[in-house]
Structure 1
Amino acid sequence: MEMKSFIYLAIAGIITCTACGKSSQPNASPEPRTPSNPSSQTGTIGNSDTILNVTYETGALNGGYPDIIPTKATASDAASLINPGRSGNYAIAHKVTLGNPDYYSNEAYRSEADALNINDALFFPGQERRYEFSLYLKDWEQWNAANPPYGDNIFQLKVSGGDPVPVRLLTKRHAIVVRYDASGNAIVIPDFRPQINKWIDFRIDVKWTLDNTGYFKIYTKYQGEQDFTLRVQNVNARTFTGTQLSNGQKGYIKWGVYREAGEDSNGNVILTDNVLTRVAYHDNIRIIKLN
């Protein structure tokens, strides 16, 4: 049989993305702003390794992603846009007031956005991901030592189905801490009070595993700093806490404010926190594929 020649051609496609310019106003005090024509906007992706990039420059509470839920709380100001953002025109503000049912959703006092319905943004064992976001603790009142040290969640890497949260960041007393798996915890920022009303950039690198070959590393960069600083790392660890993968379990991100309030024996909320209202801003939420 006559031999046929096969020619394999490698075609290199170069895609050039020009990012929208974002004005830098690091010292400006953000103010609430009503989103303009949000339904006509679309989200932006920075490069081929960026899976999700929520900048809020679309002027929409969902960052231009139809499948992002800005909040499930019903209060009119539970989620709003503020101006300026971390490095551009907009960021999202989440607000929660303890004891007010309009800020109560999913069995807790919370106002959080999530990307549960964006398939590419989900995480599963075997993946390696970088998560970035910027946080602004708006007029964050100080904790009173006479009250219990309740925590306020500000960012979560969760799994569906009720298993322990793999990684979540929260304020407690005057620190920002990380809780992971069923009982792990560590201090990320010992005293955040000098950073109130300033932007803090966070980076979390994770290798998601079901055995002890995984890791997570948490970095921060304060306003005015050029480089990230490694704050906490947990290596040689199981990082995906889910036990129901066969039932469609998935990992996803959440950002906003989730307040941990106490309850009495009848399930009534005990409002012993000296601060009833908390407001946090988030911007530049990114997921980057590392492997």
Structure 2
Amino acid sequence: MKRFIIFIFCILFVIDLGDTITVKKTLVYVNYESGKLDDGIPSLEATAANASDAAFMVSPGRNGMYAIGHKVTLGDPGYFSNNHYRSESATPGMPEGRFVRGDNRRYEVSLLLKDWQEWKPGMSESGDIIFQGKLGGGGNPAYYIAAKRNSLMFRMPNNNEQLLLLKDFRQFKNQWFDFRIDVAWRDSPTGFYIIYMRIPSIEKDYKLIKEYKNYHTYLPDNPESKIGYSKWGLYRADQSLEKGDIPTRIIYHDDICILDIDIS
């Protein structure tokens, strides 16, 4: 029953969005109330890392009993997968979790930086990618949210755009952050990104952070790319013990929604 109630909350919360965007239906909803790493969805990948604690269940979650945790320890091969130190859940095996050119999508995710040790000058500045819209075929994501230095950032690598979401997250230690991203996936400069954020401990409603209009949003490095999909967890790009980076980081994710939206 709890899973059903939270699902309805997710639907109702996003209906009133203004004159141009309306929600058509929910495609994916992962709230981990099953207590399983794949939330009972066989085609949802929990992690590709081999370490026994690269992905694990935590309680309580953002709204319910459970959330997923991801852990990455630099220098330990158990957390090394696909040529990088990472542990991420992903939706490429789920038809409803994919997107193609011409799709319109809303992405919602809640996350908590667990006991996050602060960045200090001299450490790598690449940041930890914590949620991303990945384009198939390799190369850069279309967009991602990252914990960079001691800030939260939104970035579109192939559009050379970077947006500051929160200047300093250290004052919100071990608190949940909620994000919403509306995307018109286009193979020409006619798409858009609309980014919202909420800090539940101080804000009741989402806050509009930025609108990027008339952007080439489906812009893969590989021209043969056919689909995109979502990933959440920890991707510690270009970090290493040799550079003095924090050895172990942990993050929690919950209430991941992917919705089909209509633009009029």
Same fold flag (TM > 0.5): yes
Aligned partner letter, 1:70: A
Aligned length: 248
Q: How far apart are the structure 2 equivalents of 1:218 and 1:122?
A: 20
User: Which of 192, 197, 211 lines up with 2:188 in the alignment?
Assistant: 211
SS in 2 for 1:275: coil
Aligned partner letter, 2:116: W
SS in 1 for 2:42: coil
Report the CA distance between 1:46 and its aligned residue: 6.8
Give structure 1 stretches of 5+ with no counterpart: 1-16, 23-42, 263-268
In the superposition, relative to structure 1, how do residues 136 and 18 fare at CA in structure 2: closer, same or farther (>3 Å)? closer
Specify the alignment match of 1:20 in structure 2: 4
Report the CA distance between 1:18 and its aligned residue: 8.9
SS in 2 for 1:20: helix
Specify the alignment match of 2:199 in structure 1: 222
Mean Cα deviation higher: 157-166 or 206-215: 157-166
Specify the alignment match of 1:95 in structure 2: 71
User: Following TM superposition, where does structure 1 have runs of at least 4 consecutive aligned residues deviating by more than 3 angstroms?
Assistant: 17-22, 43-48
Specify the alignment match of 1:38 in structure 2: none
Q: How far apart are the structure 2 equivalents of 1:258 and 1:19?
A: 29
1:236 corresponds to 2:214: yes
Specify the alignment match of 2:251 in structure 1: 280
SS in 1 for 2:96: helix
User: Which of 131, 143, 146 lines up with 1:155 in the alignment?
Assistant: 131
Q: Is the 8 A contact 1:114 1:255 kept in 2?
A: yes
Report the CA distance between 1:125 and its aligned residue: 1.5
Q: How far apart are the structure 2 equivalents of 1:136 and 1:279?
A: 9
1:178 corresponds to 2:162: no
Tell me how large the CA RMSD over aligned residues is.
2.3
In the superposition, relative to structure 1, how do residues 68 and 76 fare at CA in structure 2: closer, same or farther (>3 Å)? same
Q: How far apart are the structure 2 equivalents of 1:99 and 1:59?
A: 30
In the superposition, relative to structure 1, how do residues 140 and 46 fare at CA in structure 2: closer, same or farther (>3 Å)? closer
User: Which of 109, 117, 123 lines up with 2:99 in the alignment?
Assistant: 123
Q: How far apart are the structure 2 equivalents of 1:19 and 1:105?
A: 32
Q: How far apart are the structure 2 equivalents of 1:44 and 1:122?
A: 22
Specify the alignment match of 1:290 in structure 2: 261
Specify the alignment match of 2:37 in structure 1: 61
Specify the alignment match of 1:6 in structure 2: none
Aligned partner letter, 1:289: D
Q: How far apart are the structure 1 equivalents of 2:235 and 2:53?
A: 15
Give structure 2 stretches of 5+ with no counterpart: 12-23
Q: How far apart are the structure 1 equivalents of 2:176 and 2:225?
A: 36
Specify the alignment match of 1:80 in structure 2: 56
1:164 corresponds to 2:135: no
SS in 2 for 1:49: strand
Specify the alignment match of 1:31 in structure 2: none
Cα deviation per residue 1:241-277 (whole Å; 9 max; x = unaligned)? 13657x5621100000000235xxxxxx553133110
1:134 corresponds to 2:110: yes
Relative to the length of structure 2, the TM-score reads: 0.87
Specify the alignment match of 1:253 in structure 2: 230
SS in 1 for 2:51: coil
Report the CA distance between 1:154 and its aligned residue: 0.1
Q: How far apart are the structure 2 equivalents of 1:248 and 1:156?
A: 16
In the superposition, relative to structure 1, how do residues 46 and 170 fare at CA in structure 2: closer, same or farther (>3 Å)? closer
Q: How far apart are the structure 2 equivalents of 1:233 and 1:271?
A: 38
Specify the alignment match of 1:202 in structure 2: 179
User: Which of 110, 120, 126 lines up with 1:144 in the alignment?
Assistant: 120
Higher relative contact order (CA 8 A, sep 6+): 2
Aligned partner letter, 1:235: K
Aligned partner letter, 1:288: L
**Greater fraction of residues in strand:** 2
Q: How far apart are the structure 2 equivalents of 1:53 and 1:149?
A: 33
Q: Is the 8 A contact 2:74 2:241 kept in 1?
A: no
Q: How far apart are the structure 2 equivalents of 1:45 and 1:254?
A: 23
Q: How far apart are the structure 1 equivalents of 2:171 and 2:210?
A: 20
